[in-house]
Copies of this chain bind each other. A is one copy, B any other.
C-alpha cells in the first residue's frame, strides 16, 4: 500500500462489513460518498467494494445510482437461526393475539442495551407505531423493553439505570429509582405497561416468554407485547391473551 496507514484491523472482510453496516433504517439507499463517510473509508475503496458486492448480487443499484441491500443478502439474513427459529414458532401465536385483540402485536428480544424487534403484526387503522422487524429501540420506553430490562442480568440493569436515558416523549420515565421500582413491579406482577412513553397516543402491555434452561430454571428469552390507543379497562383481557400466547410459545420452543 502506498499512502495511508489505514487504521489497524483493516482487513478486506472488516471493510465489507463496515460498508454493509453503513445502511440503516433511515438510509436504505445510499450513494458511494455517503457510504464512504458512514463506513469511514476512502471513496475509491468503497467504490470497488460496492462493484464487487453488486456483481455478487449482495447489493442492488437503482436507477439513480444508489446502492441498497439486495435479495441475496435478505435471503441470507433469513437463515439466522436465533431470530427466525423463535419467530417461526411465535408466528401463529401472534396471529391468535391479533385475531383476539385487533391490536398491533410485537415479538422482541434484548440485544445488548436495546430492544430488537423480531416480528410485528400490525393492526390496520390502529395507533402509529415506530417499530418494525429489525428495528431497535431503547429498553426503557417500550412495554417489551421494560420486560426484557426487568429480567436482564442485574449488572446490566444497574448500569443501564445509571446511564443517561433518552426521552422520546415527556412521559418517558427516566428517573433511575422510579424506573427501578417499576422494573421490580414488572418482575413481581409478570407484565409491564407503558403509557405515551414511546409515542404519544400509544399505550402498550407486554409479558415475558420463558424457556426452561438445562438447569431446570426459567429463563426469559423474549417478550411479547401489544400496542393500543388506551389500556383503560381492557388491561385484564389483553393481559390474559398475551399470557396464554406467551406460555404457548414457551412450551413450543425446542
By a beta-carbon cutoff of 8 Å, the part of chain A in contact with chain B is 11-14, 16-17, 20-21, 23-25, 28-29, 49, 52-53, 55-58, 60, 68-84, 88, 91-92, 95-96, 98-99, 111, 116, 120-124, 132-134
**Can you name the residue of chain B whose Cβ is closest to the Cβ of A23?**
B79
How far is the CB of A250 from the nearest CB of chain B, in Å? 16
Asked whether, in the complex, the Cβ of B123 is within 8 Å of the Cβ of A78, the reply is no
**A75→B77 contact, CB < 8 A:** yes
- Supplied contacts A13-B56, A74-B78, 12 more A-B pairs, CB within 8 Å: A13-B16, A14-B55, A68-B80, A69-B76, A71-B111, A71-B116, A73-B80, A74-B80, A74-B82, A75-B134, A77-B78, A98-B99
Docked complex Cα distance between A124 and B58 (Å): 34
Q: How far is the CB of A12 from chain B (nearest CB, A)?
A: 4
Q: Specify which chain B residues have a CB less than 8 angstroms from the CB of A82 in the assembled complex.
A: 60, 68, 70-71, 74
The answer to whether residues A79 and B25 also contact, given A116-B71, A121-B95 and a CB cut-off of 8 A, is yes
- Nearest-neighbour CB distance to chain B for A108, whole angstroms, equals 13
Q: With A76-B73, A132-B88 in contact, do A81 and B28 touch (Cβ < 8 Å)?
A: yes
Shortest beta-carbon distance from A126 to chain B in Å? 9
5 A-B pairs with least C-beta separation: A77-B77, A78-B134, A74-B80, A13-B52, A12-B12
Cα A98 to Cα B105 in complex, Å, equals 15
Task: Return chain B residues, CB-CB under 8 Å to A80.
Answer: 68-71, 73-74, 77
B-chain residues with CB within 8 Å of residue A133 when the two chains form the complex: 78, 84
- Could you tell me if B92 and A21 are in contact, using CB atoms closer than 8 angstroms? no
B95 touches A68 (CB 8 A): no
Chain B CB within 10 Å — which of A11, A53, A99, A116 has the most? A11
Expressed in whole angstroms, the Cα–Cα distance for A95 and B91 within the complex equals: 11
16 pairs, A vs B, C-beta closer than 8 Å? A12-B13, A13-B16, A13-B49, A28-B79, A68-B80, A74-B80, A75-B116, A77-B134, A84-B134, A91-B120, A92-B124, A95-B95, A95-B98, A95-B124, A96-B124, A99-B99
